[in-house]
Each structure stands twice: as C-alpha cells, then as structure tokens.
Amino acid sequence: MSIVVTGATGHLGRHVVEQLLEKVPAERITAVVRDADKAAGLAARGVRLAVADYNAPETFDGLFAAGDKVLLISGNEFDRGRVRQHTVVIDAAKAAGVALLAYTSAPGSLTAALADDHRATEEVLLASGLPYTLLRNGWYHENYTENLAPVLEHGAVVAAAGAGRVSSASRADYAAAAVAVLTGEGHENATYELGGDEAWSFAEYAAELSRQTGREIVYNAVPGETQKGILTGAGLPEPLAEILVGVDASIERGELVVSTGDLARLAGRPTTPLAEAISVALKG
C-alpha cells in the first residue's frame, strides 16, 4: 500500500512529500503530479510518480489501490470547478477502496466565499462513505510573507481586515499535521481545526516588519471596495480579488482565529511564529 499525495509539486504538497521522506521509505510514497518533469527530483529519490490531472478524470483510473492512504490537496483553479475536480479524486479513491482520504479544507468558522468549495467537497467526501480526515487548514504565513515587495516599497501593510486577528502558520506546519495523519493511526472520520498557536493583528504584523527592517511600516486599514481596486490594479482577476476581500472581511469578524491547538498537537511541536516567517522571507 502507498501513501498518495495529490498536487505533490505544489507549495503545500512539496512540504508534505519532503516530510514523508523523513518518516517512511520512498517506495511507499506516490506523488500525483501533472508534470513529471517538475517532479524529477522526487523520482530520483525513489518516490513513485503518477501523472494525473483533476480536469481529466480518466487519468485517475487505477491510480489508487486498496489500503492506500490518500491526501487530497485542494485545487487552486478557482474558475475550473474545484468541487468537480475534487469529486474525481474521491470517486477514484472510493472505487479502489482506499483506507483513508484526508482533505485539506478550510476552517469551519470561515464564511467567506473561499470556503464554499471546501464545504461542498466535505459533503461529497462524507457522502462517499470513505474513511476520511478533514484537515481544516487556517491561513498561511506565506500568503503575506511571500509578497513583501510592495509592502516594503510603500512602507505599508494594506488590508480590509480592520482590527481582526489571524491564527496563521507556515506551510511546513500544516504539512506536518498531514504527515502525522498519513503515517499515524486513529484519525479515521476525524475533523481537525488547524491554526497557529498565536493570533496576530495587521497592526502587529506591520510593527514586526518595522522591527526587523529598521524602517517604519504602517498598517492602512481600508474599505473592502478600496482593497478590491488595489488588487485588481495589481493585475489580479476580479473574481479572485473579490475572494480575497471576502477573506479580509472574515478576518475582521474573527473567523480566522483558530484556538483548538490541533495543529501543534498533530505536528508534535509549537507552530512557527510569524516573526520567524518574516525573518526567513526578508533573508530570501
């Protein structure tokens, strides 16, 4: 039997496969990818590759085997029908009789439109009758720290989140939780609400950037429509900009504060502090 990771060359998938390689033999890992060339490094380390595409259901025929544990990493093509894409994987997993399907979802408290596809996918998964684990991942540090250039250029963090707080964590933290589920026991039909140990506000984020750069970085709280204009002006498609503005509104309402401690418990260690993620990003 294999541990199968979809989206294995994506931002989160790479972390999951790297951490799996620390715990299980490479030949027990199957990386599902759309482009084998991008996964050549994994193949060289003994990881089995399976080329498949969420948009081509036939590519998942026979991909899974009875007893496999599968991590379905949610797709990021917001305009391609993500629920339909995810259902392709769930149907193939059910046909094969896998032992567990874990899905990277969104916090149960999140009401923003971003969560709609996740809730619908959860319904499909539960209706399938498969043993499941819902990994309801909160926000990622990297959503902010990977795009510091405009912040540093303008000396300002701009968001439509008011005084809201975020329990973000690093991709590596969320990957560690997934690996714990895929390599451990007793996670069948469990739901984990995952977030960082410490919630932070955007004013605190700006203050930490100021401290680490030695420059004054301020937080500009703006209305949602203003933020949407900024995002579309920077080249984001309007539907994606609307989704991100919706997330900011959810942050202002406190919906991305996750205080369960599930992430640190599954990872077996404290989550990565935002200050550490900022430090790494500034050095990079």
pLDDT in single tens digits along all 284 residues of the chain:
899 999 999 999 999 999 999 999 999 999 999 999 999 999 999 999 999 999 999 999 999 999 999 999 998 876 668 999 999 999 999 999 999 999 999 999 999 999 999 999 999 999 999 999 999 999 999 999 998 999 999 999 999 999 999 999 999 999 999 999 999 999 999 999 999 999 999 999 999 999 999 999 999 999 999 999 999 998 999 999 999 999 999 999 999 999 999 999 999 999 999 999 999 999 98
Tell me the H-state helices in 169-237: 171-183, 202-213, 224-233
| Residues 103, 79: Cα–Cα separation, whole Å | 20
- CA–CA gap between residue 1 and residue 27 (Å, rounded): 10
Beta-bridge partners for 104 = 135
Tokens of 59: 């590519």
Tell me, what's the pLDDT at 76?
80
The domains of the chain are located at 3-137+171-194+259-268
Class of domain 3-137+171-194+259-268: alpha beta
* Residue 245 tokens, joined: 């503005």
Q: Which two tokens stand for residue 214?
A: 């030695």
Question: What's the pLDDT score for residue 79?
Answer: 64
Backbone angles phi, psi at 149, to 5 degrees: -55, -50
SS3 content of the chain, % helix, strand, coil (to 5): 45, 15, 35
The pLDDT value recorded for residue 56 is: 93
Residue 192, beta-bridge partner list:
135
pTM of the shown model: 0.96
Retrieve residue 76's tokens. 């990021």
